[in-house]
Amino acid sequence: MMMKIVKYGDPVLRKKAQKITRIDEHVVKLAEGMISVLHAAKGIGLAANQVGVQEKLCVIDTGRGDKKGEVLCLINPEVTAFEGSAVFEEGCLSFPEIFAEIDRPAKVTVSYKDLKGKDKEVTAEGILARVLQHEIDHLNGVLFVDRMSRIKHMLLSKRLKALEKETRGK
């Protein structure tokens, strides 16, 4: 299946993804395709709705540059615990060239199923905690621009409107 990253302005990014009830070849192929797209884009996280698929699946690889890390494939991920607070600059493959400081919990625990259908849990801090929250937000139709300060949102409003117009014009 040919996949490309959906940009801001596409309504699919605002829709809540559907829970995956059966892990079959379709889900495995979707995950494999998403990993290829993620690596080609040199990203660290990608949610299924970012490639236009309304299913609760995200892939994460926090390796840097040519050093690919361990890829996490999370099916139906949910934050089950969080603590602390940390502000850090975020970007998003659906928002090219747009970055903003976002305040999120510093530490999170996420439960999910892996591609074999096994129940898993990961507790993370730092970049992994941030990426987990960012991708889970995507699956819930929440975008990082929704979490930025009002001032930052105002400063970026022209660029956001231009991106939205460009996306919808296609």
pLDDT digits (tens, 9 = 90+) for 76-126: 999 999 999 999 999 999 999 999 999 999 999 999 999 999 999 999 999
Q: How confident is the model at residue 2 (pLDDT cuts 50, 70, 90)?
A: confident
For residue 116, is it within any domain? Answer: yes
Residue 4 lies in a domain: no
Report pLDDT digits (tens) over 34-50: 999 999 999 999 999 99
Q: How confident is the model at residue 168 (pLDDT cuts 50, 70, 90)?
A: confident
Is-contact 107 82, C-beta < 8 A? yes
SS3 of residue 100 by DSSP:
strand
Q: What residue has token string 């970007």?
A: 91
Q: Which residues span the domain enclosing 109?
A: 11-169
> Any idea what the CATH number is for the domain that residue 98 is in?
3.90.45.10
Residues 6 or more apart from 126 whose CB is under 8 A from it? none
Q: Is 108 left (phi over 0), alpha (psi -120 to 50) or beta?
A: beta
Task: Please tell me which residue in 25, 135, 164, 166 is annotated as part of the active site.
Answer: 135
Instruction: Answer yes or no: is 74 within a domain.
Output: yes
Is position 136 within any domain? Answer: yes
55 is an active site residue: no
Does 63 fall in a domain?
yes
Residue 56 lies in a domain: yes
Strand partners, 92: 95
Q: For the chain, what is the domain count? A: 1
